[in-house]
Amino acid sequence: MFRNRLVLIISVVLTALLLLFAASTVFAQNDLEMETARKAFEAADRGNPDPAWEGQTFTIAVFSAGPRGPISGPLYFWRPFFEELTGATYEIVEIPFGELREKIFIDLITGTGFYDAIVGPSWFYGDYIVNDWIVPIDKYFEDPRMPVWDRDSIVLPIRELYMWGDTWYGFNNDHDGQILYFRRDVLNDPEWQAAFKEEKGYDMPVPPQTWEEVYDVSSFFNGRDWNRDGTPDYGISMHLKVGGQGFFHFMSYSAPYVVAPAPGDDPTRVTSYHNVYWFDPVTMEPLINSPGHVEALKSLMRLAETGPEAMFGWELGEAWDFFLRGNAVMTFSWGDVGTLSQLPEHSTIMGKLGAAPIPGSERYFDMEKQEWVEERNFVANTVGASWHGVISRFSDQQDLAAYFLSWQATPQINHWNVVWGWTGVDPGTLYDFLPPIGHASLEDYVATGFNEEDARQFITAYMDMWYHYPLRQHYLRIPGTPEYWEVLDIYLSEAVTGLVSPEEALNRCAQAWNEITNRLGRERQLAIYQESIGFQPE
Amino acid sequence: MKEKGNIFVLPAIGWVLLFTIFPLLYSLRVALSQVVFGRITGWAGLSNFARMFGDHRFWQVLQFTLYFVVASVTITVLLGLGLALIFNRKMRGLKFFRALLTTPLFAAPVAIGYLGVMLFNERSGPINVLLRTLGLPEGAWLSNPAWARASVILVDVWQWTPFAFIIILAGLQSLSDEVYEAAAIESSSGWQIFRHVTFPLILPVVGTVTMLRIVDAFRVFDIPFVLTGGGPGVTTRTLTYYIYVQGLSNLDMGYASAMAYFLMAITLLVGIFFYRQSRALYQ
């Protein structure tokens, strides 16, 4: 009897202590979060809010991830500050990823203007611009009511996503590109390095620099219990479900096999054969079934064999989680992995994160000579959404919406969003990057709970990719881009799950792309494509 | 008086004209038009209908749709019939079990889809965890094309079996005890009584359930949309899903309308067939 009571008392005390500890951790985290947010709020430029805005409301459409989820989360977080600032407020309409296009486009097609601002993906730009759905924002840069933000700080490839030609349409927010993440502790372990050398016959590359090296490392660790939990672990983690954004993996993976440097003094010059990835800029014939793309898909499928089969049904959150929980030795993804790895509720790998620029390839296909070139090729990417705000032409609250988006784009608020991982806002400005390129400091990151070496690796990987890589992959910005990508997504899924061969999948994709191009008007599509990649017909 | 009474029918006629006839005619116009980015740009004649026949994706989704309808309806009706026979007797806790059995019917299909996502999660879902614990091979529920099809069908069957169960049970309970007493004199075999007495008597009910389920199954959208995203590839994409993508995502509403008319024709044919069959049965 006494023993039972004792057990009960001990259990109650332990539970209470646990709850207290959990609560104190959460509150401590929230205190720090609020304290740093308040500092950012005080430091950020506020412009001169128009008194007429008091009591006004506008509506923002955003990708649905909830009040503490990526991209939508910061809108909830900053709303009380915005209300304090202006006396105005805004409604947040969350739209699931799979329904973004139809919900937003139908509002714009019908001219309803229900959404005053849209925090959407960059792949909508072709449709936005050609249909005249969003307003240019240059006029706001001179408007004294608007907070000032630093456009020149944004890394060039991302800055171009916010613009069309020389005109600005988007407000600075998120900066997407995929890099390689790996387990620093595992790859640097001398025991594993020795075993790798014995098996593969060369020193383990840390970090792997090409996809061929990534495969060697991933296949070496796949099936081994490298996290010492008693069960075999995996090499790679990817998200390959249809509609799960898996096609972005293929884009960043295939770029170095396809994007060839131009001969002569300027390797970045766009010609019919060089620095092109999507279409032939003379004929608008798809390049998606070029030998470089096919080789890349085969190689990607081989790499996929070194991860769990379940990832063919994963969306990106599941793939991130698998890596962050310490079950895969590598993944390649967006900046979210870097920031989420530092949150104890999401990650078990804090202090163990390694990061490197997106790998290159050991060879690339020269479309002019129709032959493979046996040289390493490195191509930077901006794949993903780079979620950011634009203003609907049909909005009757354009100025107020512009004020909010300008304020969110200020260096202090934007950088705060970057360093707090749950926001989903990824680094891409000089005030996020470290010297000598940028002017952020590791202390900025450490102050929010980052492990110093993790932060250094993470930020340096992005700086190296965007500032030092010789080439970059163009973003597809033509009308119908979501449809082209949806078709690609399905064919890739068919290939990786063995329903059709890689060649057949990409040939069919090219055929389907041709049908879309013909339906939307080949001449018009070609002109927009040429303009979007800076191709000058000779 | 009779003429005055007709006035009360006018709201109903207005409703039908506004919300049934007008959309039907308007969508026919759209199906016969060239539509780019949601705007009608010209007359297309029958080209949107002709396009269906050359579109291999259309045939793929139609094939899965037919496969889904046959498998899901067959399993649902057989299970519903079996459960109705089991619960059509006096037993303790009968009301509780009947209520429990019908629960899935009251959930929205999209919620059922999300439930399926959790159940079939290949790493942490309870089904694979259980299989793992028992030392059995785990299922690639959502990543393998064949398993994904089975998962979609299983979830649909789980949701709609109670519907078949309720209707067939009502049919069974409407049968008179005297019929069974007479049948018991003729035969002692339960199977023979079922085959020669019960089943023929409830056949119209089973036919009605089957018809309603077929029509409904042709329209399935939520479950594959949420559970598999139509994949891998398009292996679990249904015709309605394809129409949705073409019409509302790709804004190719002319083609989407043409396919919607095709789907309507199929369901109408099914309806007419069953209507004729059941009329013959009653006569």
CB A404, CB A47: distance < 8 Å: no
User: In whole angstroms, how far apart are CA B4 and each of B9, B13, B14?
Assistant: 10, 15, 17
Nearest to B231 among A105, A109, A493 (CB): A493
- Beta carbon pairs, A and B, within 8 Å: 97
Give, rounded to a whole angstrom, the gap between the first and last alpha carbons of chain B.
Answer: 36
What does the alpha-carbon distance between residue A459 and residue A446 come to, in Å, rounded to a whole number?
13
Q: Name every chain A residue with its beta carbon within 8 A of the beta carbon of B38.
A: 105-106, 109
Cα of B228 vs its chain's centroid, Å: 18
Side-chain-facing half-sphere of B268: CA atoms under 13 Å: 6
Type and span of the H or E element at A364: strand A364-366
The alpha helices in B7-55, defined as continuous H runs, are: 10-16, 22-31, 47-54
Mean pLDDT (chain A, rounded)? 94
Residue B105: per-residue pLDDT: 87
Q: How many CB atoms lie under 10 A from the CB of residue A55?
A: 9
- Residues of B with Cβ-Cβ distance to A481 under 8 angstroms: none
Q: Name the residue among A310, A486, A496 with its Cβ closest to that of B123.
A: A310
Measured between beta carbons, the chain B residues lying within 8 angstroms of A486 are 245, 249-250
Contact by Cβ (8 Å): A169, A422: no
Closest C-alpha to A246, from A486, A472, A422: A486
Closest Cβ opposite residue A242 in set B232, B249, B251: B232
Q: What is the pLDDT of residues B206-220, one digit of tens each?
A: 999 999 999 999 999
Which residue type occupies B176?
Answer: S
- Per the CB < 8 Å rule, is B225 touching A98? yes
Token pair listed for A521: 């008007």
Q: Do A127 and B37 touch (CB under 8 A)?
A: yes
Question: Can you tell me whether residue B272 is helix, strand or coil?
Answer: helix
Say whether B248 and A102 touch across the interface (CB within 8 A).
yes
Mean pLDDT of A92-113: 92
Contacts (Cβ under 8 Å, ≥6 apart) of A206:
A187, A188, A193, A354
Which of A209-218, A311-320, B105-114, B185-194 is the most confident on average? Answer: A209-218
- Inform me whether the pLDDT recorded for A244 exceeds 60: yes
Predicted pLDDT at B277: 82
| Residue A140 burial by Cβ neighbours in a 10 Å radius (0-12, 13-18, 19+) | buried
Give this prediction's pTM: 0.90
Contact A79, A89 (CB under 8 A): yes
Q: Is a pLDDT exceeding 90 seen at residue A415?
A: yes
User: Is residue A352 over pLDDT 70?
Assistant: yes
| Segment B25-31 long-range contacts (CB within 8 Å, at least 24 positions apart) | B27/B257, B27/B260, B27/B261, B28/B257, B28/B261, B30/B253, B30/B254, B30/B257, B31/B254, B31/B257, B31/B258, B31/B260, B31/B261
Q: Which amino acid belongs to residue A507?
A: N
CA B185 from centroid of its chain's CA atoms: 40
Tens of pLDDT, residues A375-406: 999 999 999 999 999 999 999 999 999 999 99
Give tens-digit pLDDT for B124-164: 899 999 999 999 999 999 999 999 999 999 999 999 999 99
Question: What is the per-residue pLDDT for A17?
Answer: 54
Residue A377 neighbours by CB under 8 Å, 6+ apart: A256, A257, A259, A260, A261, A360, A361, A363, A364, A471
The model's pLDDT over A119-139, given as tens digits with 9 standing for 90+, comes to: 999 999 999 999 999 999 999
Task: Report the residue of chain A nearest B245, measured CA to CA.
Answer: A102
Does any CB of chain A come closer than 8 Å to the CB of residue B37?
yes
Using a 10 angstrom Cβ sphere, with 0-12 exposed, 13-18 middle and 19 or more buried, the burial of residue B40 is middle
Distance from CA of B176 to the nearest CA of A (A): 52
- Classify each residue of A227-262 as buried b or exposed e, where b means 16 or more C-beta atoms within 10 Å of its C-beta: beeeeebbbbbbbbbbbbbbbbbbbbbbbbbbbbbb
Query: DSSP H helical segments within A87-176, as ranges?
Result: 100-109, 125-130, 138-141, 156-159
- Calculate mean pLDDT across residues B63-89: 95
Q: How far apart are CA B13 and CA A280, in angstroms?
A: 56
**Residue A73, pLDDT above cutoff 90:** yes
Compute the distance between CA of residue A452 and CA of residue A491 in angstroms, rounded to an integer: 41
DSSP labels, B218-251: HT--HHHHHHTTT-STTTT--HHHHHHIIIIIS-
Residue A77 above 90 pLDDT? yes
What is the per-residue pLDDT for A13? 60
Shortest alpha-carbon distance between residue B231 and chain A (Å):
6
Q: Could you say which of B142, B225, B251 has the minimum Cβ distance to residue A313?
A: B142
**Chain B residues closer than 8 Å to A98 by CB:** 225, 229
**Type of residue numbered B95:** K
Mean pLDDT (whole number) for A42-52: 97
Write out chain B residues lying below 8 Å of A491, CB-based: 233
The pLDDT of residue B188 is: 65
| Residues B231-280: tens digit of each pLDDT | 899 999 999 999 999 998 888 999 999 999 999 999 999 989 988 887 77
Nearest to B36 among A482, A494, A520 (CB): A520
Average pLDDT over residues B174-197: 82
How far from the centroid of its chain's Cα atoms is residue B130's Cα?
30
Helix (H, G, I), strand (E, B) or coil at A253: helix
Q: How far apart, in whole angstroms, are the C-alpha atoms of residue B188 and residue A91?
A: 71
**CB-CB neighbors (< 8 A) of B39 in chain A:** 109
- Structure token pair of residue B217: 């199954």
Given CB atoms, is A497 within the 8 Å cutoff of chain B?
Answer: yes
Whole-number Å distance between alpha carbons of A344 and B270: 56
Residues 308..367 of A with a Cβ closer than 8 Å to B: which? 308-314, 318, 322
Residue of B117, B127, B246, B251 to mutate when probing chain A, most A C-beta within 10 A: B251
- Beta-carbon contacts of A361 under 8 Å, excluding residues fewer than 6 positions away, are A210, A211, A212, A256, A257, A296, A376, A377
Q: How far apart are CA B171 and CA A413, in angstroms?
A: 66
User: CA-nearest residue of chain A to B37?
Assistant: A109
Handedness of CA A217, A222, A224, A228 (dihedral sign): positive
CA dist., res. A145 & res. A190, Å (int) = 59
Q: CA–CA distance from A458 to each of A428, A454, B275 (Å)?
A: 12, 6, 67
How many residues in chain A? 538
Residue A10 pLDDT > 50: yes
pLDDT value of residue A5 = 66
Q: Which residues in chain A are contacts of B228 at CB distance < 8 A? A: 241-242, 313
In chain A, residues with a C-beta closer than 8 Å to the C-beta of B232 are 241-242, 312-313, 493-494, 496-497, 499
Residue of B nearest to A484 (CA): B250
According to the model, what pLDDT value does residue B103 have? 87
| Residue A11 pLDDT | 60
| Angle CA A174–A175–A177, to nearest 5 | 140
Give me the torsion for CA of A407, A413, A414, A418, rounded to 10°. -160
Distance (Å, whole) CA A246 – CA A319: 10
Where are the strands (E) in A155-266, listed by range? 163-164, 167-168, 179-183, 234-237
Which chain A residues are Cβ-neighbours of B251 within 8 angstroms? 105, 109
Please report, as a single letter, which amino acid is at residue A406. S
Per-residue pLDDT at A538 exceeds 80? no
Chain A residues with CB-CB distance to B152 below 8 A: none
CA distance A418 to B53: 50
Chain B within 8 Å of A493 (Cβ-Cβ)?
A: yes
